[in-house]
Homo-oligomer: A and B are copies of this chain.
């Protein structure tokens, strides 16, 4: 393996060695109880100094992934397999069902009247929207930051519910609300500074940016949601023959 690229950017080498080893551990290249290659072998593989390898191993140790044992080697510890508990679904009724079964903790970040954000490419603005920005978590794990824009008339009608629970089931259960257009877009990107702080993840970490737009039969925009999910918390399963 040529390591010329490995050395090219300015991220410290020990952070990169740690990342490579972490991915291998999480992908089960080594089972719990097995030993990492020795420090000398890793020095050879990555073409780095002993201190660089040891610094990387120290990071993995602090994450509970390995236990270095003098005279023996560095043993891989059992760790929780990464699960991606949240399924991003691809139909509105499924989405509402998922949301019904989801009772995350909500922390309000912002709550005010505003206009739609730029770049909403489907439908027609009704002018004023109520914006709710919140962070969701489950079992103490923060997993997304969501910014909702609800047409003001709709928000006013169910104000209390929108404030205390997830928006989509509320919307879906209102018989006066007719949804004719429902689109969703997913982008893969790097976490921005503000969201990183809310989610307690590093700047630049992989996230999924999801935008959802719901319109009525006159193409009036009723609801826009901009959600930033931790990339490692979600998966997206699709039936290509549906």
Contacts and interface: CB of A to CB of B under 8 A. Distances in A.
For the residues of A in contact with B, the DSSP-based class is mixed
Contact of A232 (B16, B23, B189, B212): B189
B239 A183 contact: yes
Nearest to A8: B202
B95 A240 contact: yes
Nearest to A94: B240
A240 B90 contact: yes
Interface residues of A, number: 54
A91 interface: yes
Contact of A236 (B16, B236, B237): B236
A238 B184 contact: yes
Interface in A181-219: 181-190, 192-193, 196-197, 200, 202-208, 212
Nearest to A191: B206
A234 interface: yes
Q: A9, A92, A180, A186 — which one has the most chain B CB atoms within 10 A of its CB?
A: A186
29 contacts: A5-B197, A5-B200, A11-B15, A11-B203, A12-B12, A16-B203, A20-B193, A23-B192, A90-B240, A91-B240, A91-B241, A95-B240, A179-B241, A180-B241, A181-B241, A182-B241, A183-B240, A184-B238, A185-B236, A187-B231, A187-B236, A188-B208, A188-B231, A188-B234, A189-B232, A190-B206, A206-B206, A212-B240, A242-B242
